[in-house]
Amino acid sequence: MVLQPTDIKHVSLEVFQIFSKETPLLTAGNRSAYNTMTIGWGGLGYLWRWPVCTVYVRPSRYTKAFMDRHNSFSVSVLGDEWKEQKALCGTKSGRDMDKLQACGLSVSFGDMETPYIQEARLVMICRKLYYQDFDKSLFLDDKIALSYPEEDYHRMYVGEVMQVLQAV
């Protein structure tokens, strides 16, 4: 499988499938240091006249430090054959192990030298535009707080989709 650049205008995605069933890998960093994690929350759309990808990271996640230090990130969507590897990337910390090596996954670098997962069927390279920490006082449904028994509210990152790579 080879990833080829694709014009975002020609990409048709099943957004609810990508984030709820395919659990992509979020990767941030640079050539000298990077980390990846599995994400189940995200969104795609248009904001401020740009195509955007929104991702959410808890403060305890090792990847958050990479997201905060770097101006870009990638979202890599892998096929079902990578289910066990995605599970490992969502349950183990990059502080303790090289998750990608343990999973047999390879890193390549896209626009802005952004790391992404080479085995993906779809990759979005994003330039960070905005971030915001969730604020419990702004939750309009009390049930949302049930997702945060430890009050470790996510940070939301909005990134402009700068490059899309698709498997051919």
CATH number of residue 18's parent domain: 2.30.110.10
Domain total in the chain = 1
Alpha-carbon distance of 45 to 52, in angstroms, equals 5
SS3 31: coil
Residue, of 122 and 5, whose pLDDT is higher? 122
Domain boundaries, position 78: 3-167
Residue, of 168 and 25, whose pLDDT is higher? 25
So what's the pLDDT on residue 45? 92
Q: What DSSP line would sit under 54-99, residue for residue?
A: EEEE-TT-HHHHHHHH-SEEEEEE--GGGHHHHHHHHHS-TTTS-H
pLDDT of 14 above 90: no
Asked if residues 98 and 115 have their Cβ atoms less than 8 Å apart, the reply is no
So what's the pLDDT on residue 52? 96
Provide the β-strand partners of residue 77.
122
pLDDT tens-digit readout, 77-86: 998 898 888 8
Provide the β-strand partners of residue 53.
44, 159
Q: What DSSP line would sit under 87-127, residue for residue?
A: HHHHHS-TTTS-HHHHHT--EEE-GGG-EEETT-SEEEEEE
Measuring CA to CA, which residue among 68, 151, 74 is closest to residue 113? 74
